[in-house]
Amino acid sequence: MPEDAEQRTNHVYGLLMIEKPPIPGVVHLAWPFIRRFTERVFAEDRMAVEAEQRAWDEQGEDWNNEVFPLIVDVRDVLRTNGVPIRPESARCSVGCNSPLASTTPWAEPNQPGTVGD
């Protein structure tokens, strides 16, 4: 999930599901290996994301030919329903010091929820 308007800082979420082994204590013995495995997976994912970001910066657009069906579907949903995140400077063109500016950063001037209604 992007944490800033420029989408340069992201927070990654992960879920690991492990079936409890029938022998008590085995999961505790295996935990260091499980942790090392998941840390490596996240490190590889981070390297891939950073490489894709560099490619975007160099090309100015997305030339990635995605083949993973879930990612293709997510991209379609985002293209169809997504709302672009504008930089902080664009969001604060009117009433940056207003209490409403922090609660409705996406509102345009002369729209409900902005200063000067």
Give the per-residue pLDDT at 34. 92
Query: pTM of this prediction?
Result: 0.51
Cα atoms found within 13 Å of the Cα of residue 6, Cβ hemisphere only:
6
Give pLDDT tens digits for 34-82: 999 999 988 898 888 888 888 888 988 878 788 889 989 988 998 898 8
How high is the pLDDT of residue 88? 57
Say if residues 62 and 81 touch (Cβ distance below 8 Å): no
**DSSP secondary structure string, 28-69?**
HHHHHHHHHHHHHHHHHHHHHHHHHHHHHHHHSS-------H
pLDDT band with cut points at 50, 70 and 90 for residue 3: confident
